[in-house]
Structure 1
Amino acid sequence: MRLLVVDGNSIVNRAFYGIRPLTTKDGQFTNAIYGFLTMLYKIKNEENPDSVAIAFDLKTPTFRHKAYSGYKANRKGMPEELASQMPLLKELLGLLGYKIVTCEGYEADDILGTLASACEKSGNECVIATGDRDSLQLVSDKTYVHLCTNRDDILYTPDKIMEDYGVTPVEMIELKAIQGDSSDNIPGVAGIGPKGAGDLIKRFHNIDYIYEHIDEIDIKDGIRKKLKNSKDNAFMSRMLGEICRTAPINTDVSSYKSGNADRDAAARFMAKLELFSLIEKYGLNDIPKNEQKVVEKVNFEVTEDFDDNILLKNIKVVGKVYILCNIALKELNSFAVLNNEKVYVSKNPKLLEEILSDNTVKKYTHGCKAIFAYADKNGFEVNSLAFDTELAAYLLEPSSKDYSDENLCAAYEIDLPCTENENYKPYCVLTVYEKLCDKLSNRIKANEQEKLLSDIEIPLANVLAKMENIGFDVDRQGIEDYGKVLSSQIESLKSEIYQNAGEEFNINSPKQLGKVLFEDLQLPCKKKTKSGYSTNADVLESLRYQHPIVDMVLNYRTLAKLNSTYCEGLLKVIGDDGRIHSSFNQTETRTGRISSTEPNLQNIPVRTELGREMRKFFCAKDGWTLVDADYSQIELRVLAHISHDKNMIEAFKNNDDIHAITASQVFNMPLDMVTPIMRSRAKAVNFGIVYGIGAFSLAKDIGVSNKEASQYIKNYLAHYSGVDEYMKNVVEKAKQDGYVETMFGRRRYLPELTSGKAMLRKFGERVARNMPIQGTAADIIKIAMIRVNDRLKKEGLQSRLILQIHDELIVEAPIDESLYVAKLLQEEMENAVALDVPLTADAAVGKTWYYAKG
């Protein structure tokens, strides 16, 4: 039999400090639970044990504390963020069928030692899973230590210990007797560290022999003196460091077999903690029927045979309808509505149209963008869409990765009724939609986010659906020809690279490229990874001027990326209508920004002329043109507004060059003497401040010393004192509230601010400063999109919005509407919201995106 004994405290600490803070919608930290169960799952799969015991410390003093009052006296208390997770973790482990072992007066290490000893005596194998090397003393022919490290886990056997430390497992105790252990406040021998201790134990094996022959053994007089002066400490340290193997616990190995797991309850508990990926990992999302807990008796009817008119009449009487649409690729497969606790299923598109277009009936949905897209494709409008559970959940939990209605029900502790009829399973969720909508709606109201949902997110879903349907016309032949040009340049570069290298190799292989650069050509190695030389962009940029081949490789990568991603990639996604129909994601980013996929049109490169060439192949259809407008410095204008900085507000109101003004202040230079490079650096400071940049990053970005960059930031904040005050206040408020929010109430929760890791806290502070600015700018562009779409429709224009990229909107317009639409676009963007500073947008017209952008 093989017993896995888990050092619970060690693994949970490693999980807590190794994983970024995770919280539920209610603010409960879960990162330690998630990390522990992930590690346990991995260890179990690797070690394949027959039984599992999980040992935890108790808060009560142990025999070591009683023997030495200083034992672990330097330890800080457990952070509250971790302490709050411990009872939840233990409860969940119990539900999963694991045995938890504790023992008053003893530590978890002593439980590990006792169970390992019991295994050895009974002829069984023991694997100890821990992140603490103290357990290495327990290793034997029957006991192994599975050491969890920041990199790869290590399995320690007696041979592995000898290889790494040059001693036997039992001699690891003697090492600690001399070198001590600062983490446990074990003193050891003063003045002798790991190297000296290792040398002594390798030669003399134990402190008993050393002290019995202290005047005879061949050691330096200084070492002899230190040993003599700390003799009592050495023996006490050995006692403190030696793991007890006789703790009074259950040593029957067979009793630790996993059993009596309540899988259904475990799944529900994980769902409550919003650990949905663990439900799948542990196979709890497909629980056999005989193990399922019957939550609620089937109490709903499903019918497909009904009178449409009677249903419509009933829906109108109620005045609201909960609707579940199965729409694939904007085609209706079926839909179901809930009316008086009865589910009506239909495939009749006319019935769906009548329900959706009726403006007297409020609709409650999940994933309304697909419904809007279907309606747009079929020539009707969806009216009175009152609530969408997916969008509401996104506003409440912007960091979640799964907004499926089943997961939402689980997270909000709404029991789904069970049904024996497999065909009815999809409608179980529909029967509890009212409960789900009520719970989400109450939280939305509590957060004062009703208008954010009803006036921005739901109308925006309609706009995005129309944009997806319309798509963007592209020049297929132009892309193919450009791909051929790039391929030719790539082949030419490959030849030059091979010539400079003196051999042919796989340029795309970091290993082969590293060998060529750092071994064959002897370029200085900047960075090594466990797999070899690093050849990432930063490394190559630092070597660009040391050998011509480096510049060639960088250019090769740029061209190869352009060709594969943007030429070959785009050709694959051109629709039958000759247009590219990207998907716009509304629930992906934590700041509220819209993203796009399949393809990601927001990633079309613009920084290089070669990249900008791609925009020439995005065009308007025959007889039409593109109208492109983008906001000028919207995030800085938002910063001026929310910080109430007088100097910045005045500069924008006077339509001054904000970057030149900043340069004159940062460099203490008259405005008319500001040089282009000064303005460029001031621009980097302006935008860097928005993103919470530090001196190190700014110095790297603009090529100055850290000291210079630090002075630039200080001068900036001295001039824009309102910005300085905002940056401080917003972080303090975020620490109190646990979140930051935009002007429109969009929130981002920041558990990182309470992390025990300084790096994570700094990250949280940067996000606290940036998110209200970036998120507000994202909200403004969304409002502008809704206004533009509504006005185009209201005025009966043929023009239509086809793309949004951060602060840029593109409308495809008939040529005779283009100039008017350019003015319309500019007006709606500039008047989307009222700030303390004017919003400005610049519009241009062109046949292609390249020429419209200017």
Structure 2
Amino acid sequence: MSLKERLGLTTEPLYLMDGSAFIFRAFYAMQSMQRSDGFPTNALFIVTRILLKFLKDEHPTYFGFILDGKGKNFRHDIYPEYKANRSATPEPLVQQLEPVTRAVRTLGLHLAISENCEADDCIASLAARYKKERPVIIIGADKDLKQCLDDNVFLWDPGVKQEKLTTVADFREETGLDPAQWPDFQAVIGDSSDNIPGVPGIGPKTAAKIFTEHGSLEAIRDHFPSLAPAVQKKFAEHLDTMFTYRRLTTLATSECANLTLDHFRVSPVDAEKTALFLREFELRTLMKDISALGPLLAPSGHMASTTNDPSDGPTTLTTGSPKPVSAQMSLFDSPGSAAPAAAPLKQTEPAGTQRSLKITAVDDISSLPDCAGRRVALVAVGDVLHRAECTTLPPLLGMAAPSPDRSVSFADSAGLPASENQQARNGSTTQTGDAEPCALHLHLAGDTCEYRYTGSLTALAGYMTKAEYIVTPDVKALLTTRTGWRAVAESRWFDLGLAAYLLDPEDRDYSWRRLSARADELDLPAENPARLALAIAGDFERRLQGGDLTDLMRNLEIPLIRVLADMEEVGIHINRAAFAEFLNEVQRELDRLTRTIHEAAGGPFNIRSAQQLGDLLFNRLGLKPKGKTKGGQISTSQAVLEKLEGEHPVIDLILEYRKLEKLRSTYLEPMPKMADEQGRIHTTFNQLATATGRLSSSNPNLQNIPVRGKFGPRMRACFTARAGCKLVSADYSQIELRVLAHCSQDPTLLEAFRNDEDIHSRTASVLFDVPAQDVTPDQRRNAKTINFGLVYGMGPQKLAQELKISLNEAKAFIERYFARLQRLKAFYEQVEADARENGSVTTLIGRRRHVPDIQSGNNQLQSQARRQAINTVIQGSAADIIKIAMLRTAQDAQLKSLKARLVLQVHDELLLEVPAENAQAAAERLADIMSGVRPGGKPLDVPLKVDYGIGSGWHEAH
């Protein structure tokens, strides 16, 4: 149902779109989308897609796409600092402005550029002018536009996951204000994105309360004595400036007078011209949306052919490269620039191939065409094919479209029982009638058919060694079948899931199920999964190259897959007797604690029940609640109990109980059951799990094994070397702080690390103005907390909680920290500035993370984005360093000669299992490799210090 129908409108509305805002949002919503020649197309793609969908759904008669004009406007005359905090518009966004304007006009829509005002002023003026004769629907999300709302003016934002439609009634219900009060309200609370200060100390809640009693700034000024004393104090020095701020927040209503209704009449869409435009910028996925426009198409228009496979490469047109941005148009005063001409890619499919490829069933490897020097896609498909030779593939390889006669869904191996996960890992064959052996779809670039292979995986692996390039959703899933796939050279693999992760590390889902959903976008049939995989790979290759991510994938992440697969296969040995003994001790202590807790509580209750625990603490004992769950219930979480420490003896007992219970249920009881017959546990290393690039571990999670404290050494003592061997542990010393010193070039940190000083004592010495030898334990602890806390984006509230000090003390402590280590402050500010300008940040070797919320008007989201930016630069670079070290360790000839095997990686630590007589030599070599890592080909400006140890158990080695 169209928006017009939903609103019950009987007159054709005038649609006014805040074009500048949508271009900006589109640019930051999806990074690294580029044409094959590197020309950015992310904003162009999203804006064009939004417009095509809008035309299809709404069939508008009147529409205007309004853009900000170039240069300063009247607000800068009123307040020179207006928007002074805005950084320059990123060049990749500037490059797309001219193509966006072409897209708007190509679709038969009117584009208007405001002069001496902003797009919002033009929209407000047009809405005020035409709302008496017809409905006006403003398409945008800028909060300033809310003042335009009226009985016949609506605000609609289709650009979010869930559209938002706001009527004047909705606005009044949400805010308790009238639209006419909105500029006054905004003037008081300020607007950080526009650099409008507002009245300090007055937030939205306080302002809303004030405006329910005093409806305008004039009323606040005239009734100033009636305000609460605390409010008076905040307003006292701003009774004049708040009126200036209101002039900034009030939209003009008399601009764009030259625009008449006829200007906004929508013209029919020239389908052929639009198709040529989409081909020029390689936006083929939008081709199908043109034909969906139906009656909006020009009578003489006809669709250009869309039957070409998207993996063909671009069609070179004579239209030339995009023109420079018009001097009359700009987004926040950035200069225009020209784009390079397109260069066609190597073709991977013959032009004009049929939409669906014939699927040929093959069960003998000799029936497949020669793949030597060719690109091949390989995708697992679920099907029941009872063949004794076929080895079951781990479910992580993913799922393409199942055969028509059977719907099959593969579970992620992370959700499998340990026995099934282990069976998949060891490559067990399935020969019974109830089993589900593998079926694979193959597509060779250039072939006119796709092959459905049901033969031996071992034979297929040998066949594939001759291929130039092998595209598959999950390389590691093939390697762990132990059917010969490790013979395939690393340079020949292209992992679709890994590529998707590098392009968008926030997505979290890189399964074939998710990737294959792009079939419609690429205009390919899902029944040809391998051909689809090849097309997706072509798109990913272009985007990786455009985002400078190709080297990261080729030289680090792809080779690392084999290392992780080998580590998973080797596993780590455990001492079952040590596990059993420790479990018995913990269970006895849990039983004792249970009795003691019941006595302290005045009677028995279920300690594991949140409801019964809450009843005890907050009803029977009368303690004050410290938080609620998302559902609104009183919380008994770990964080809440820690805040209640000392308020009743039962709290400390329950906290101790929970520590032991977690130890029992997470480690001591389940882990021995996961070990194989040789007493080895095989975890799964997840390469695509974290946005910073860190590896994670699951089934079981061995990266969460306690290290320190009362139980850490005892827990690690349960992990041992096999008979005749030793464990060698080597870990980086304070690697994140060393990366911080290198990136920030702070002299205090650089000197401390170069002189091998205690970094926390040195920092405390600077913070508290005392010689390093006189630093107290508390001062060192405080310095350590803030040193590591700032790396993880800790704010004053968290610091106050950690140091058990007041919020004001924490703020003062942070201010003093940055005042004394000024290069650190400059570094943090530079990271934020880069994030604002580029919409992303990178690690030392170029790993990229997008932080679109850095531009958000929501302070909470903006703060989170700032933390993410810092985390990625520092922690992400540290993660890259340990990955490089892993790769070099696995490939090192000397360690291989010493028969050392890499068995575990835990954050900044690597663990080897090595014959006892070779342990010392292996430890020294491992430390040498790790300390010699040069991220990006350059050494850090501080030494990478590595500590190592040797022992029969993990506790002795670390």
> Shorter-normalised TM-score: what interval?
0.5 to 0.7
Q: Matches of 1:305 and 1:404 in 2, distance apart?
A: 26
1:22 to partner: Cα distance: 8.7
Partners of 2:506 and 2:691 within 8 A in 1: yes
1:533 aligned onto 2:634: yes
Q: Matches of 1:191 and 1:539 in 2, distance apart?
A: 31
Partner of 2:805: 704
> Given the superposition, is the C-alpha separation of residues 794 and 564 from structure 1 closer, same or farther in structure 2, using an over 3 Å criterion?
closer
Q: Secondary structure at the match of 1:596?
A: strand
Partner of 1:367: 474
Partner of 1:725: 826
How do 1:144-543 residues align onto structure 2 when only pairs under 5 Å count? 182-183=181-182, 297=354, 299-305=356-362, 308=365, 311=368, 314-316=370-372, 318-324=373-379, 327-328=393-394, 329-330=424-425, 331=427, 333-339=438-444, 340-341=446-447, 342-344=449-451, 345-358=453-466, 361-375=468-482, 380=487, 382-405=489-512, 407-408=514-515, 410-411=517-518, 415=522, 417-418=524-525, 425=527, 428-528=528-628, 531-543=632-644
Q: Secondary structure at the match of 1:762?
A: helix
1:564 aligned onto 2:564: no
Q: Secondary structure at the match of 2:471?
A: strand
1:487-535 deviation per Cα after TM superposition (whole angstroms, max 9, x unaligned): 2222221211111111222222233222222222222333456644332
How do 1:623-662 residues align onto structure 2 when only pairs under 5 Å count? 623-662=724-763
Partners of 1:468 and 1:583 within 8 A in 2: yes
1:620 to partner: Cα distance: 1.4
Partners of 2:501 and 2:688 within 8 A in 1: yes
Q: Secondary structure at the match of 1:811?
A: strand
1:826 aligned onto 2:927: yes
1:23 to partner: Cα distance: 2.7
How do 1:28-177 residues align onto structure 2 when only pairs under 5 Å count? 105-106=134-135, 134=169
How do 1:550-699 residues align onto structure 2 when only pairs under 5 Å count? 550-699=651-800
Bigger Rg, which one = 1
1:849 to partner: Cα distance: 1.4
1:380-414 deviation per Cα after TM superposition (whole angstroms, max 9, x unaligned): 46443242222111111111132234643554865
Q: Give the partner amino acid of 2:847.
A: R
> Given the superposition, is the C-alpha separation of residues 705 and 405 from structure 1 closer, same or farther in structure 2, using an over 3 Å criterion?
same
- Unaligned residue ranges in structure 1 (runs of 5+): 10-15, 33-51, 61-75, 92-101, 115-128, 138-146, 150-174, 198-270, 274-292, 420-424
1:545 aligned onto 2:646: yes
1:649-669 deviation per Cα after TM superposition (whole angstroms, max 9, x unaligned): 222122122111111101110
> Given the superposition, is the C-alpha separation of residues 193 and 683 from structure 1 closer, same or farther in structure 2, using an over 3 Å criterion?
closer
1:708 to partner: Cα distance: 3.7
1:835 aligned onto 2:952: no
* Number of residue pairs matched by the alignment: 647
Q: Which stretch has the larger CA shift, 345-354 or 437-446? A: 345-354
> Given the superposition, is the C-alpha separation of residues 53 and 298 from structure 1 closer, same or farther in structure 2, using an over 3 Å criterion?
closer
Q: Matches of 2:46 and 2:665 in 1, distance apart?
A: 38
Q: Matches of 1:191 and 1:795 in 2, distance apart?
A: 72
Pick one of 21, 26, 29 that aligns with 1:23: 29
Partners of 1:6 and 1:130 within 8 A in 2: no
Q: Give the partner amino acid of 1:322.
A: A
Partner of 2:955: 850
> Given the superposition, is the C-alpha separation of residues 846 and 29 from structure 1 closer, same or farther in structure 2, using an over 3 Å criterion?
farther
1:715-758 deviation per Cα after TM superposition (whole angstroms, max 9, x unaligned): 33334332221111111111000000001110110011111111
1:799-840 deviation per Cα after TM superposition (whole angstroms, max 9, x unaligned): 211111110111111212211111121111111212111111
1:576-597 deviation per Cα after TM superposition (whole angstroms, max 9, x unaligned): 4422111111111110011111
Structural RMSD (CA): 4.8
Q: Matches of 1:527 and 1:306 in 2, distance apart?
A: 61
> Given the superposition, is the C-alpha separation of residues 433 and 104 from structure 1 closer, same or farther in structure 2, using an over 3 Å criterion?
farther
Q: Matches of 2:730 and 2:210 in 1, distance apart?
A: 71
Partners of 1:295 and 1:418 within 8 A in 2: no
> Given the superposition, is the C-alpha separation of residues 498 and 300 from structure 1 closer, same or farther in structure 2, using an over 3 Å criterion?
same
Partners of 2:841 and 2:848 within 8 A in 1: yes
> Given the superposition, is the C-alpha separation of residues 5 and 497 from structure 1 closer, same or farther in structure 2, using an over 3 Å criterion?
farther
1:170-220 deviation per Cα after TM superposition (whole angstroms, max 9, x unaligned): xxxxx99xx99845989xxx99987999xxxxxxxxxxxxxxxxxxxxxxx
Q: Which stretch has the larger CA shift, 334-343 or 689-698? A: 334-343
Q: Secondary structure at the match of 1:689?
A: helix
> Given the superposition, is the C-alpha separation of residues 410 and 507 from structure 1 closer, same or farther in structure 2, using an over 3 Å criterion?
closer
> Given the superposition, is the C-alpha separation of residues 131 and 505 from structure 1 closer, same or farther in structure 2, using an over 3 Å criterion?
farther
Q: Which stretch has the larger CA shift, 395-404 or 694-703? A: 694-703
Pick one of 842, 847, 852 that aligns with 1:741: 842
> Given the superposition, is the C-alpha separation of residues 104 and 732 from structure 1 closer, same or farther in structure 2, using an over 3 Å criterion?
farther
Q: Matches of 1:521 and 1:311 in 2, distance apart?
A: 75
Q: Give the partner amino acid of 2:591.
A: E
Q: Matches of 2:648 and 2:895 in 1, distance apart?
A: 61
1:113 to partner: Cα distance: 9.8
> Given the superposition, is the C-alpha separation of residues 181 and 416 from structure 1 closer, same or farther in structure 2, using an over 3 Å criterion?
closer
Partners of 1:7 and 1:130 within 8 A in 2: no
1:672 to partner: Cα distance: 1.4
Partners of 1:323 and 1:337 within 8 A in 2: yes
> Given the superposition, is the C-alpha separation of residues 570 and 104 from structure 1 closer, same or farther in structure 2, using an over 3 Å criterion?
farther
> Given the superposition, is the C-alpha separation of residues 104 and 382 from structure 1 closer, same or farther in structure 2, using an over 3 Å criterion?
farther
Q: Matches of 1:136 and 1:675 in 2, distance apart?
A: 57
Q: Matches of 2:708 and 2:132 in 1, distance apart?
A: 63
Pick one of 881, 885, 888 that aligns with 1:780: 881
1:414-435 deviation per Cα after TM superposition (whole angstroms, max 9, x unaligned): 546448xxxxx3xx12124333
Partner of 2:255: none
1:346 to partner: Cα distance: 4.7
Partners of 1:593 and 1:775 within 8 A in 2: yes
1:59 to partner: Cα distance: 9.4
1:135 to partner: Cα distance: 6.4
Q: Matches of 1:430 and 1:514 in 2, distance apart?
A: 54
1:307 to partner: Cα distance: 7.1
Partners of 1:788 and 1:828 within 8 A in 2: yes
Partner of 2:205: none
Q: Secondary structure at the match of 1:315?
A: coil
Return the structure number with greater helix share.
1
Percent of pairs with identical residues: 33
Q: Matches of 1:637 and 1:464 in 2, distance apart?
A: 26
Q: Give the partner amino acid of 1:347.
A: G
Q: Which stretch has the larger CA shift, 751-760 or 483-492? A: 483-492
